[in-house]
Amino acid sequence: AQRVTQPEKLLSVFKGAPVELKCNYSYSGSPELFWYVQYSRQRLQLLLRHISRESIKGFTADLNKGETSFHLKKPFAQEEDSAMYYCALGGNNRLAFGKGNQVVVIP
Amino acid sequence: NAGVTQTPKFQVLKTGQSMTLQCAQDMNHNSMYWYRQDPGMGLRLIYYSASEGTTDKGEVPNGYNVSRLNKREFSLRLESAAPSQTSVYFCASSVGLGFGNEQFFGPGTRLTVL
């Protein structure tokens, strides 16, 4: 069975401070991992995926198979980063989402 | 391209009423999905369609039916709405089924069942 855990529901950070959103997964196969983001009044959209190994909007995420984690990081938070973030695991026949993290960046 | 479109944007129903949520995509995607989003629960998959002519149950299918009308359209029907179905419903599509494929989401339908 696929399972994604995002432990913190709400994360408040000051502008310029580092942000780290934790994501742990459970899956017996080879995982495909994603971070999706939903800004206020916008639709859910892909932020990044582990396979591309790229930085998007200053965010990076590294797949750690030993710790079964895919944490999202950004060294300096910006106000426009305030949003809902979902970690997702692709496997079997579906994409399983975590419960999401609400990030609030305080000016 | 409009991407994924959903109608209606908002709907209020009384318990026991029925309705159909419409979804269409213009990206020539093969696979389509219906999710519900509830506070504290994230997105949960209701039904999906791997390709035209096929549909399968997801994580929370009870109380819903779907129809893949053609490659573009995938509708979700509530036959007898219940307050527990109050939620925001998202349709999504992808080039293929799963996993390494990016899913593209519609704007959502906010449904309230009284």
Closest approach of A80 to chain B, Cα-based (Å): 20
Per-residue confidence band for A54, with pLDDT thresholds at 50, 70 and 90:
confident
Closest approach of B107 to chain A, Cα-based (Å): 5
Residue A80 has phi, psi (to 5 degrees) of -70, -5
Chain-centroid distance, C-alpha A29: 20
Compute the average pLDDT of residues B91-99: 83
Q: Choosing among B99, B103, B104, B109, which should be mutated to test the A contact, i.e. which has the most A CBs within 10 A?
A: B99
Q: Is the pLDDT of residue B31 over 90?
A: yes
For residue B90 the two structure tokens come to 């998202």
Q: Check whether the bond before B8 is cis (ω within 30° of 0).
A: yes
Q: Choosing among A8, A44, A101, which should be mutated to test the B contact, i.e. which has the most B CBs within 10 A?
A: A44
Compute the average pLDDT of residues A6-32: 92
Residue A14 has a CB neighbour count (10 Å cut-off) of 9
Residue A42 has a CB neighbour count (10 Å cut-off) of 11
Contacts of A49 in chain B (CB under 8 A): 100, 102
Asked if B55 contacts B41 with a C-beta cutoff of 8 angstroms, the reply is: no
